[in-house]
Structure 1
Amino acid sequence: MSEAEGFEFSVPVLIAGAGACGAVAALAALNAGVTPLVIERDDRPGGSTGMSQGLFCAAGTQSQREHGIEDNADIFFADIIEKAKGQTDPVIARALADHSAPTLEWLRAAHDLPWELDLRFRASYGNSRQRLHGWPGHSGDDMVQLLHRRMSDAGVDVLMETRLVDIYVQGDRIIGVALERADGAIEKVGCDALVLACGGFGANRAMTDRYMPETATLKYNGHEGSQGEAIVVAERLGAVLADMGSYQGYAMLTDPQGISVPPPVLIEGGIIVNKLGNRFTDESADIAGMVHPLAGQPDGLGWVIYDARIEERCAQIPELAQLMALNAPKIAEDLETLAKLTSTDPAQLAAAVGDVQRVAAAKGTDAFGRSWASETPPSGPYRALKVTGALYHTQGGLQIDGAARVLRQDGTPFANLFAGGGSARSVSGPSSWGYLPAMGLTTAVVLGRLAGEGAARASAD
């Protein structure tokens, strides 16, 4: 389409996707003096954020300083690059590191979002400082609903059950979109700037088979709306895709409950054994990449072994609280009883747990490379949760610059097309081993703000 008259109506900024990225983009556009229109394919906001713990990384925040934690953008940037083994985009990494704390402080001050440092998550899995922030006692879904209340209070319209199906260009600028409504009707809407905040493509089996075939045997534990439509539509315009083989896997999806065991269960000293009772990996090394060692075990199943001490420390984390309410953990005073409850081999389970207990007593490092110098392994009474591996969300997508502008094949940015969250390339490298805890929501929130601000400016050009 090349004629603006073909649109049924026009808006200055249109935001496709109403999860954390889209909601923050809307609030940022509002702060810049522009009222956006937001669309959402589902009948209820949530997306990947709604299925998460609602935590994101920010470096150099007031909350960190209040707890005596020295952190800054340079340290965060170095952690991102190291975790990704240098195989990520330093421009995006720099933008995320530089804008993480200012974005958090802006949301707290301007929109009264009660986010603070979560002390339950010690520095681990690539984060060299405690920098995971969230809303204490609340989930990612709570966060999304709060963001939507803030949008509603500010008068932002959100069209639910509305899906982006095409983008219209005139010259080198986006001029509008085609939207599919719940009844199948197609509506053409003009816009002066467009933000793609639609999520990734984890639920699109054709795309995951193409870009990450090694995940074919994994369960999918992500948002079913993550179909990759924004990526597909923008690629047709000549947008660059990058790191399409990148994703977050997770080795602790409970079977059969389908609830994630939170990372602090391992951080505080828990271990994983296979269905025979044997350990097979360093549980402290890679929270996302651990999915593949588990997938290689018999039936792809394992048991997270922890104890009453760890349970007490983690009991307020919503996911573990849910599992406890369901009586999901197997509970035993001794390893022999635990072996019976889990149908593991008693001798092998005793050997696995006994080994880490002996190594920890000597403050040493075990055969898998896990240091027990400052960690305490499980001891009776024991707890066990049956787990399997799963794909949670993709990390590849549209190549953007440091202002969240989508790039063309020649490396130049579209003047008024922006992307964030699962639609955009993240900073996890090309595979599953580069994911820093909470970086999914970090990209959503930080890039959402940059995209919203940029779209507001572009709409005035």
Structure 2
Amino acid sequence: MGPFDYDVIICGVGTAGQTAATFASKRGARVLAVDSAAEIGGNTQRSTGQMSAAGTRLQAVRGIHDTPDLHYEDIMRISHNTADPTLARMAVDNAADTLHWLLDNGLELLPEMPVIFKGHEPYRIARTYWGPDRGGRPLQKVLGTEFMKEVHAGGITLLLETDVMDLVRQDEGRVTGVELKSNDEQEKTVSAPNVLLSMGGYNSNAEIFPRYSNGYPLFKGSPVLGSHPNANGKGHAIGEKIGGYVRYKDFFMPTFGRVKDPKDTSYVSNVTLIHAASLLGTRPLWEIFVNRDGERFVAEDSDSADVKEHALLEIPDLTFWVVFDQRAREESKCIYANMTHEEADALYNDHESFRKADSPEELAEAMGVDPAGLVETVERYNRSVGKGVDEDFGRKYLPAPIACPPFYGIKHHGMSLTSFAGLAVNENLELIREDGSVIPGVYAAGECLGLGATSGKSFCGGMGLMSAITFGRLLGDRIWKW
């Protein structure tokens, strides 16, 4: 091979890409970082900002005994042994060092961190961390600052609003560069011995989403929750084109229960507290959840996010209705996260996700679910309340029958916040073919690798961001050679 234009080419400057570029530059590499967006960061600042790590100095200060071994055991327990053992092990073994690097460079965390987070199936030990407002902005501030230091120092050349069109290979073997096209239609080919696919996931591409998500549709509006508009699956497609393959297509898992935003119906948001309140114990649930047949499908008060998320998979369109009555409205804590009862009252029968009627049968008709099914479900649930036992799903909290008109229904959707399917790699994060052979010169990290690699067919809290940063750090700091 002749001389290269660069030592490393980063295709996608998000969570993993920024980190990999930063560490490679610090080692003296000539780095080209390319992104189709107008700014760096990808999904980082759109995320909730949660990371998990074991054996950290923050845990030590609080007297929390934790180790990477225990973290790994929790991941395999939560994922039902579906996470990639090699990659999950590599992530947890190096997560503490990653967190310490972030802290040393100014990452701001809430003072009570770490905690046991119950928004997903919880770890047994407090090892989840996030910053103020539980968003990814504090994290992106650190990643972006460190990245731009290397840009200003001359180690990284940054090209924004530039698409990666294809990879360049030497005699159908080693990847030796990329073909680029800028927004002004200029095309060029650049070379490097190390190329990273870190172009994000596919959660903004409704056309290909079902292909990578076991046939489930992408609900309109989901990108506002977590996915960057450029999360179009291009990195996955480029990797497949050169002989790689996408695994974990059957690992799709929705987050439980989001609602079309009344203030902008093209978006979906956490309008109600159904998800967080039931899991965090901040609001006991008076409501029942029903599918299009008017039937319940889960114990609504279950403290297991994993149970609810898997139950939702049994509903083909991932859509369900939350049903309650006037007594629940008056006697329970407000169900709305960002509205008062009075503000919500104006939405009923005037917004597609909010319905109100004088009887369960009329409510079912307004919601578009089976009237006979809902009437039977409400009657059966009310009998369970009277007996104090839910024989169908084992629900424990049974405060009152649903019997006081008017009756209310709110349509909820399971949402996709991250990409579970990703390109298959080996222990060095090199792309591999289905026969296990390596495609030299090309690597994957972040959502191009897929959450399924380190989380399996479940949500293991904090493993998306932490794995992306950790793998980016390892690539730039240790794995790549030039």
Q: What's the TM-score, normalizing by structure 2?
A: 0.73
In the TM superposition, 1:42-441 aligns within 5 A as 42-109=37-104, 111-115=105-109, 117=113, 119=115, 121-122=117-118, 125-154=121-150, 155=152, 156-170=156-170, 172-216=173-217, 218-219=219-220, 221-222=222-223, 223=227, 224-257=229-262, 258-260=268-270, 264-269=276-281, 270-271=284-285, 273-274=289-290, 279-282=296-299, 283=302, 284-286=304-306, 288-293=309-314, 300-303=319-322, 323-324=338-339, 367-369=392-394, 387-427=412-452, 433-441=457-465
The answer as to whether partners of 2:167 and 2:178 remain within 8 angstroms in 1 is yes
- Once the two structures are overlaid, the 10-residue window that deviates more, 233-242 or 300-309, is 300-309
Equivalent-residue separation in structure 1 for 2:269 and 2:212 (angstroms): 26
Equivalent-residue separation in structure 1 for 2:144 and 2:53 (angstroms): 22
Equivalent-residue separation in structure 1 for 2:358 and 2:215 (angstroms): 33
Q: Deviations over 1:218-258 (max 9, x none)?
A: 44613231222222212222224321332331222222351
Whichever residue aligns with residue 217 of structure 2, its letter is A
Q: Deviations over 1:133-171 (max 9, x none)?
A: 122225124532442133213334432211211111226
Equivalence for 1:317: none
Give the count of matched residue pairs: 429
- Once the two structures are overlaid, the 10-residue window that deviates more, 282-291 or 176-185, is 282-291
State the 1:70 CA deviation.
2.8
Query: Please, which runs of 5 or more residues in structure 2 have no aligned partner?
Result: 263-267, 347-355, 365-373, 401-407
Structure 1 residues 214, 415: closer, same or farther in 2, change over 3 A?
Answer: closer
State the 1:403 CA deviation.
3.0
Query: Please, which runs of 5 or more residues in structure 1 have no aligned partner?
Result: 315-319, 332-337
Equivalence for 1:335: none
The answer as to whether partners of 1:198 and 1:422 remain within 8 angstroms in 2 is yes
State the 1:367 CA deviation.
4.5
Structure 1 residues 240, 72: closer, same or farther in 2, change over 3 A?
Answer: same
The answer as to whether partners of 2:71 and 2:92 remain within 8 angstroms in 1 is yes
Structure 1 residues 36, 329: closer, same or farther in 2, change over 3 A?
Answer: farther
The answer as to whether partners of 1:20 and 1:445 remain within 8 angstroms in 2 is yes
The answer as to whether partners of 1:161 and 1:182 remain within 8 angstroms in 2 is yes
Structure 1 residues 418, 115: closer, same or farther in 2, change over 3 A?
Answer: farther
Equivalent-residue separation in structure 2 for 1:377 and 1:31 (angstroms): 60
The answer as to whether partners of 2:75 and 2:455 remain within 8 angstroms in 1 is no
Whichever residue aligns with residue 303 of structure 1, its letter is V
The answer as to whether partners of 1:123 and 1:131 remain within 8 angstroms in 2 is no
Whichever residue aligns with residue 183 of structure 1, its letter is D
**Secondary structure in 1 matching 2:132:** coil
**Secondary structure in 2 matching 1:247:** coil
Q: Which structure is larger by alpha-carbon Rg, 1 or 2?
A: 2
Query: How many percent of aligned residue pairs carry the same amino acid?
Result: 23
Equivalent-residue separation in structure 2 for 1:268 and 1:106 (angstroms): 30
Q: What's the TM-score, normalizing by structure 1?
A: 0.76
Whichever residue aligns with residue 447 of structure 1, its letter is F
Structure 1 residues 38, 159: closer, same or farther in 2, change over 3 A?
Answer: same
Structure 1 residues 18, 430: closer, same or farther in 2, change over 3 A?
Answer: closer
**Secondary structure in 1 matching 2:33:** strand
Alignment RMSD (CA, Å)? 4.3
**Secondary structure in 2 matching 1:180:** strand
Whichever residue aligns with residue 242 of structure 1, its letter is R
